[in-house]
Amino acid sequence: MNRRQGGDFRLSSLFWLLVFALVVLICWKAIPVKIRTAEFLDYMEDQAKFASGTPAEALKKELLRKAKELELPVTEKNLLVVREGETIRMECSFSMPLEFPFYTYTWKFKEKVVRPVFNV
């Protein structure tokens, strides 16, 4: 005989509700950071692609401006832009803290772009 009444709440339902809430919280914090870093990497690749007549220092300033716009913790110390002959190399490493209740996760990023420069 089933004594359960309509509206009874199971403990397993509470567990899965908490798991779902945790997944939503992680996505809420992590997805915007991942989108901004992916946008910054795309911007680095675009700058390297069209860098034929641009000096390395100008590229570095432009990348720092874009990082500031995207609210990424990129500084002159952790951004490297070097022209080596017919190649341009851009490297950037930084970490973003993701704050959760009772825990802070430090997400580390290391982006690198190496492309040939075509002089037109």
Consecutive 10-residue averages of pLDDT for the chain (120 residues): 60 87 93 95 92 87 95 94 90 93 92 82
- CB within 8 A of 66, min separation 6: which ones? 40, 43
Q: Could you tell me the pTM of the whole model?
A: 0.81
Residue 99 lies in a domain: yes
Output the pLDDT for position 6.
56
Residue 65 lies in a domain: yes
Residue 2 lies in a domain: no
Output the pLDDT for position 2.
57
Residue 36 belongs to domain spanning: 11-116
Residue 21 lies in a domain: yes
- Report the domain count for the chain: 1
Sheet holding 79-84, edge to edge: 79-84, 87-100, 103-116
Residue 6 lies in a domain: no
